[in-house]
Amino acid sequence: MEPLTGMGVLALMGAAATIAGASEDLESDIGSQSNPNSQVQLAPQMMYPHRIYSKAISGEPPSNALMCAIGGTVASVLISINTSAILALVIGSIIAAAIHGTYSVTAYFGRSASQKRFKQPVYLDLIRSHTPVIIGYSFITTFCILVVSYLMVTVMAHPFSLPLLAFIWGIAVGAIGSSTGDVHYGAERQFQNVEYGSGLNAANSGNIVRKAESGLRNGIDNSWFCAKFGGPVTGLAFGMTVFLSGWITALFDPSKGDSIGWVSVIAGVIIVLSLILWNRSIEVAARAAYGTYKEDEVDVEVAA
Amino acid sequence: MIDIAGILMSNMSYLILITLGGALISWSVHFVPVGGAPAAMAQATGIGTGTVQLAAGAGLTGLVTAGAMMQVTDNMALIIASGAVGAMIMISVTMMVGALVYTYGVGCPPASAKVKYDPITKDRQDLYVSQGTEGHGLPTVSFVSGVIGGALGGFGGAVIYYSLMSIENGLPLVDLVGIASVFAVGIFFVNSVIPSYNIGGTIEGFHDPKFKRFPKAVISSLIATFVCAILAVLSIGGL
């Protein structure tokens, strides 16, 4: 393949992956899936009943992998009977999103109903208002992942099948969303009632914010907040993963010889080293800006 | 009738490589700094997700890059190195963006609660741990440990994929890729799950006392992967 064409396709894949990452995180924030769900489930038990959509279908990676694998399988079958690729990807994504929506509703009913003894209400209007948004976001995620996988199979000639690539990228987007954007929801948005700038004190576990800017807080309020930072950075992370892992071989094409292949490996290692240095600079800047939480005992003794 | 002994004997080297690849994945998971649900609330050092999820996410990204490389070369070292690099890129990007969220979204500096000084940077850790938490974010030692974990995981996954693809069989290439990749993903998951019993939800990296427990997981993985490898070799070699 021409290097310029390869870079163009890779840019398109990176853009689709960025959108997939952002929509994946916002979808999980609306439904309060993944790790922050532990606090949403704990809240009623600590006598804090809430109006937040609680759908822990499973961890984010398996749930996204299921969605994407269903979408990829449906799309593959449709493409094999000569359906247009775009139509096949759209239909695959619609079916996957609808199945995800079904799981969301059953998960919400199950989680909330099982907490009846803690006086946690089941809000039927939450189902009506939140589920279509969850389905919408999961459609965007699945469609973008399928676009990435389809481009890899058809243009980049990747040997893996479309459903398998969709499955693997589904696992990856879930792992990234769960590791990055969810922290913004779990550590900041859920606990805006405590002072900014620290981790959650174990004593405050379950005491999540239940009042919104107007009325009672719900999942869509959380998504609104996380769309300002958590969602976009998740998109950035997944976009960078897809783009950088392909970029090194697009630039240094290993099909032209093993020596160029080794250059691509070295380029990858240089990227990783620069990320280590970037993380170190963030660490130094954060420590300088925020300071310590407690004083050194030696300093305290000297001052006394 | 399938000649079971014959298939196993003729692919003995791949059987051993698959088993060693599985053990390597099991060891690699111990390096990955995961804080589970507490880390998502900035209550523990590491990445805010589960062990299996992150290790699998990184390792499978490595499998994608190794698969792409195997399409254009048969140089085993290059295929395995590209698998390791793919996994390293995924895990470093995730940790770096995670560090951005902890620092600018949550407002807390990276700190480890398991050691007083970072073994790499020699920075003081305990003073930066906020009250009521077991540390938060990703100090340099955890980040480097995660990169090593990603590299070993991608390495192990690529070894397994390369070995599965090299088994003698009568399948067309497209079918062989399909079955080999599914087996590789399956074996990866088996070996990501086994160490999570050792880790028990949170581990900060190679400086964490829990890291010393890895031999038990590696031995368990050797046994589990050996059984998986026999099944994989027989399934692919018998077709």
Listed by start position, the domains of chain A span 3-251
Inter-chain touch B93–A240, beta carbons under 8 Å: yes
Residue B153 domain flag: yes
pLDDT exceeds cutoff 90 at B81 = yes
User: Which A residues, 143 through 202, put their C-beta within 8 Å of a C-beta on chain B?
Assistant: 152, 156-161, 164-165, 167-169, 171-172, 174-176, 178-184, 186-188, 190-191, 196-202
Distance CA B50, CA B46 (A): 10
Asked if residue B43 belongs to a domain, the reply is no
Q: Which of residues 38-57 of A touch B (CB under 8 A)?
A: 38-39
Q: Which of B52, B1, B5, B80 is nearest to B230 (CA)?
A: B5
How close A240 gets to chain B, by Cα (Å)?
7
The total of other beta-carbon atoms located within 10 Å of residue A63's CB is 27
pLDDT at residue A303 in the model: 61
Give the Cα-Cα-Cα angle B180, B182, B187 (nearest 5 degrees).
95
Residues whose CB is less than 8 angstroms from the CB of residue A225 and which lie 6 or more positions away in sequence, other chains included: A185, A189
Residue with tokens 């890129």: B89
Q: Is the pLDDT of residue B105 over 80?
A: yes
Specify whether the CB–CB gap between A253 and A7 falls below 8 A. no
CA–CA gap between residue B67 and residue A13 (Å, rounded): 18
Give A-chain residues touching B73 at CB under 8 angstroms. Answer: 254-255, 258, 261
Contact B186, B23 (CB under 8 A): no
pLDDT of residue A300: 63
When the pLDDT of each residue in chain B is averaged and rounded to a whole number, the result is 92
Name chain A contacts of B177, Cβ cutoff 8 Å. 159-161
B238 pLDDT exceeds 90? Answer: no
Looking at residue A296, its pLDDT comes to: 78
B96 part of contact set with chain A, CB < 8 Å: yes
Nearest to B215, CA basis, from B191, B190, B195? B195
Does the residue B116 lie in any domain?
no
Domain-embedded: residue B109: no
Range of the domain at B155: 4-32+52-104+142-237
Instruction: Count the helices and strands in chain B (H runs, E runs).
Output: 9, 2
Cα-trace Rg, chain A: 22
- Class of residue A177 by CB neighbours under 10 A (exposed 0-12, middle 13-18, buried 19+): buried
Query: Which residue among A159, A205, A276 sits closest to B147, beta carbon to beta carbon?
Result: A276
Q: Is residue B40 in a domain? A: no
Cβ of B63 under 8 Å from any chain A Cβ? Answer: yes
Chain A residue with the nearest C-alpha to that of B49: A179
Out of A159, A268, A271, the one facing B71 most closely (by C-beta) is A159
Please report whether residue B77 resides in a domain: yes
| Closest Cβ–Cβ partner in A180, A197, A293 for B98 | A180
Residue B124 lies in a domain: no
Domain count, chain B: 1
- A213 Cβ under 8 Å from any chain B Cβ: no
Q: How many CB atoms lie within 10 A of CB A276?
A: 17
Which pLDDT score, from 0 to 100, does residue A34 have?
83
| Residue B47 located in a structural domain | no
Q: Cβ(A167)–Cβ(A63) under 8 Å?
A: no
Mean pLDDT of B57-83: 91
Q: What is the pLDDT along chain A (304 residues), one digit of tens a residue?
A: 777 888 999 999 999 999 999 999 999 999 998 889 999 999 999 999 999 999 988 889 999 999 999 999 999 999 999 999 999 999 999 999 999 999 999 999 999 999 999 999 999 999 999 999 999 999 999 999 999 999 999 999 899 999 999 999 999 999 999 999 999 999 999 999 988 988 999 888 999 999 998 899 999 999 999 999 999 999 999 999 999 999 999 889 898 889 999 999 999 999 999 999 999 999 999 999 999 998 877 666 666 5
pTM: 0.94
